[in-house]
Amino acid sequence: MKIYIAGGSGFIGSALTRVLCDLGHTVTWISRDKTKYPDAPVSVINYDELTTFKVPEAVINLAGAGIADRPWTDSRRQTLIDSRIQPTEKLVKWLHDLSFSRHPKPIFLSGSAIGFYGTGGTGLTEEALGGTGFDATLCQRWEEVARRAKPAVSRFHLLRTGVVLGQGEGMLARLELPFKLCLGGRIGSGAQVMSWISLSDWVRAAVFILENPCTSGPVNMTAPHSVTNRHFTEALSDALNRPAVIPMPSFPVRNLLGDMSKLLFEGQDVVPSVLLECGFVFKFERIEEALADIY
């Protein structure tokens, strides 16, 4: 299968690229500036080159600046919006242009996040309504643009991703050092819920969706069992063989991160009902299993 990936160089995209190539698929990255990737493991094209290349069987849209990389200043909020909306608009327009040709319609997987649901709530399936707040509004706008591609594609999926756990990048990369220095601990009360997924299972689930036309629409990319922050802290402490006895008080974190701190202090209990109903088997259902494998 020929597959185009927007955002292929990122934490998730690069892992997905490796697995797809190992499975024999031909992967091409789409970038705003392909000159940034002279050593990319696959071919790289700019968005304005899309029409000159062979039509793929699948398009995966993972473009977007990291939601938790920096505090949400006004300029950062705009970056988060533009880095998602603008590439998605370009992909949707191109997919509609393709629909006027005789080429078979491709599968379209477009990124989103469980931030769509806002914070709070338990047992949130793909049928749950959208929430409020900047992160929820951002995901809803992103999905609204992506949905415009539906008439132009053979299958359409929104990948609502939780906290992705993988070594060396993402959230674990920020937590490893303080935990290894025995400075790790629960955040706030520790009662807030985190919906997570191992990087390995995220990639396996994306491949499963590509290969199994059992559904369409949104898919919660989370493990079946959410955890409290206290539970996660204990599991990471055990995996790294370090004590985690120093709680992180809420005030300095809220003062430092502003609105972004809600991602740490206000949790979500999200259920991957679509994946489970379609028969996907998670390799890591429990946080202890996932962290043991990572470390």
The pLDDT, as a whole number, for residue 256 is 64
Tokens (6 digits) for 104: 């078979």
Strands 2-6 and 107-113: unpaired
Main-chain dihedrals φ then ψ at residue 215, nearest 5 degrees: -160, 180
Check residue 147 and give its pLDDT: 97
Distance CA 217, CA 110 (A): 10
So what's the pLDDT on residue 247?
A: 85
- Confidence (pLDDT) at 257: 67
Provide the edge-to-edge strand list for the sheet that holds 169-169: 169-169, 163-166, 196-198
Bridge partners (DSSP) of residue 160 are: 112, 220
Domain extent, residue 156, equals 2-294
pLDDT of residue 103: 79
Q: Which token pair is 293?
A: 């494998």
H or E stretch covering 193: strand 193-194
Task: Give the DSSP H or E segment for 270.
Answer: none
Q: Which residues of the chain have pLDDT under 70?
A: 256-257
Nearest to 111 by CA among 77, 78, 85: 85
Q: What is the DSSP string of 211-241?
A: H--S--EEEEES-SS-EEHHHHHHHHHHHHT
- Do 184 and 246 touch, CB atoms closer than 8 A? yes
> Is the whole model's pTM more than 0.75, yes or no?
yes
Question: Is the separation of the CB atoms in 204 and 263 below 8 Å?
Answer: no
Backbone angles phi, psi at 240, to 5 degrees: -95, -5
Count: domains in the chain: 1
Residue 98 sits in a domain whose CATH number is: 3.40.50.720
Please check whether residue 223 is in contact with residue 272, taking contact to mean a CB–CB distance below 8 angstroms: yes
Torsion of CA 132, 262, 72, 5, to 10 degrees: -70
